[in-house]
Chains A and B, each alone.
Chain A
């Protein structure tokens, strides 16, 4: 047995050697810190003094005695629930327009993709601040129609929606994936449907949509995981406060505040683990549900 093992190891040594950079990265930069954060989530840790074990106290406080946790949950779920369907709808609509074989398609594709490249950046979030401020461009446009708009970003009723809008604007990457998915649908299905006299909506709902479900599913999962962790836009637009009145207190922003403004690293680690579990649960649920609505055989 041992000899066999040894021989196998010798044979695969080169393989492991080549894997080494990745292994070092995985253990040193991903798994190690993740386990450390799991440990820290059971401690009280202020960065300078050694962590102090407090058992499940952090988790108990999150569950029973933290109004900001509930506020940030509400904001984050609202954001995820609103931004993803809208973003995917916009992405699909544009992909279908672009799929009609317009001339200069690569140029349009690149142009529409551009916001996605910029979207998560600080510069765009600052631009958003300017657009939706009380005396910003949006209100200047509305003024032409005699509408006096509020200061969108500093009003608790609207601030979150400006961020949802920012997220929808970054439809580029799901759009490109939809475009590839649309190309995969066999043309003969449409021909047959045409012969049978199927209307355009009918063709969309009976051919395009069902055959596109794997792509929709993929986009949905990727975007959902991303949206749960959204941080930059809220951080920049609210200047790190999550305000006004916690209306843009994204969960990731709340973790940041606890960790780096209040130096409660242990508590922040516990919050982070809850986010991880939540995302895992939603992803698992999505996969389970996919059996009922994703059609894999084209």
Chain B
């Protein structure tokens, strides 16, 4: 027999062979190859990876790829992946973006997957409700948190200054922090960060004065006078040495590792209670939690208990069943929930919370105690942010810097910011 292969046949055979190889590989992996993505720091990545490794070891044949990034990069990447039809199967979603993603049809309604394999029967109904858009369950909450001061207790003890507590007013806060800056033996450390650019802290301050960020119709619910008062309060804090000066504050980019607290440049951070775990993992000092200061001793606390973040399954997922199984494991498995602890907030499932409590470490205890101890400092959830809200958040940071660097007075900065915020909201409608 004389076998002659000409170039064309040779090419065709090559193509056929590689195509066969390709489809064979897909057939093996098709049953369970999942991707999961979240935003967060090192602590979250390590814990989550550990829980996933446990799942994979119990489910041979399942492969889970993980992707994690900082907050800003995460949303840039997720939106690009999603519009390219390449979204991870399980995504971590924030309330700010939930409606955006759900209404655009890129998240999967979870009803067909509940209660099997995804059992959420003992989740707090109001928390579960936060994961609904237009009556459909698009997301399940990971846990709850509330705004909190994360304090470097060791540094306060060293300086011989008492920590702020549930009754501290903003005026007292200022004198405590100024005192700290004066007395701390640590070089280059200030009492407080400058939180004038933080929308969450501004919101708490507004709520204490009976106002809020947005009206239910999505328009701005505060005015120039409010903002002038806000910027002036922080100007006073900077000039008395209570809060870090502009130049130092500008190094803080809103992530745990760049925070002035983690850098040893401030003795506290205005954060959310669940971030306690992430902060504690970066320092040997002992940290503590306290509520944000109040306007006066009789005012409301302004805080509220909210879902930290959610998990959703992408509508682009080729294997929603397997994704839901993994999700159920992460949210409810006795071993996995112990590994994950309260890093994404105090768990929303009552049975998990009960089971977890005796096994929690000091950080976990501090967090649960904080949430349980808030009492009437915590009020009702505000209406969700309107479209354009994230741009207003950025504009506040820019405006606070202009005032802090003295390129504008507090009054001018306030007037310009309110004007700009209104423009942004109008345009986004």
Contact = CB atoms under 8 A, between A and B. Distances in A.
A261 B96 CA distance: 13
Interface string A151-174: 101111000000000000000000
Nearest to B427: A61
B248 A260 contact: no
Contact of B80 (A47, A67, A245, A262): A47
B72 A261 contact: yes
A32 to B, nearest CB: 15
Contacts of B281: none
A134 B104 contact: no
A244 B82 contact: no
Contacts of B101: 48
A68 to B, nearest CB: 9
Nearest to B83: A47
Contact of A263 (B79, B188, B249, B258): B79
A135 interface: yes
Nearest to A67: B420
A243 B249 CA distance: 11
A180 B279 CA distance: 55
B354 interface: no
A135 B106 contact: no
A49 B82 CA distance: 11
Q: Report whether over half of chain B's contact residues are helix, strand or loop; otherwise say mixed.
A: helix
B415 to A, nearest CB: 14
Contacts of A67: 420
Interface string A161-194: 0000000000000000000000000000000000
A154 B250 CA distance: 5
B390 interface: yes
A133 B250 contact: no
B407 A239 contact: no
B391 A150 contact: no
Interface in A38-64: 47-49
Contacts of B249: 154
A153 B258 CA distance: 14
B247 A151 contact: yes
B402 interface: yes
Contact of A239 (B79, B253, B398): B253
B241 to A, nearest CB: 16
Interface residues of A, number: 25
Nearest to A262: B391
A48 B73 CA distance: 18
Contacts of A156: 401, 405, 407
A260 B250 contact: no
B83 A245 contact: no
Given A47-B83, A261-B394, A134 B407 contact: no
A241 interface: yes
B402 A155 contact: no
Interface in B131-190: 188
A115 B400 CA distance: 36
Contact of B398 (A65, A155, A245): A245
B75 interface: yes
A180 B303 CA distance: 67
Given A133-B251, A134-B251, A244-B246, A260 B80 contact: yes
A37 interface: no
- 7 nearest A-B residue pairs (beta carbon): A154-B250, A260-B76, A48-B104, A244-B250, A47-B83, A239-B253, A151-B247
6 contacts: A48-B104, A65-B423, A134-B248, A243-B397, A245-B405, A262-B390
Interface of A: 47-49, 65, 67, 133-135, 150-151, 153-156, 239-241, 243-246, 260-263
Given A48-B105, A240-B72, A243-B398, 17 more contacts: A47-B80, A47-B82, A48-B79, A65-B423, A134-B251, A151-B250, A154-B247, A155-B405, A240-B253, A241-B253, A241-B397, A245-B402, A245-B405, A260-B76, A260-B80, A261-B76, A261-B394
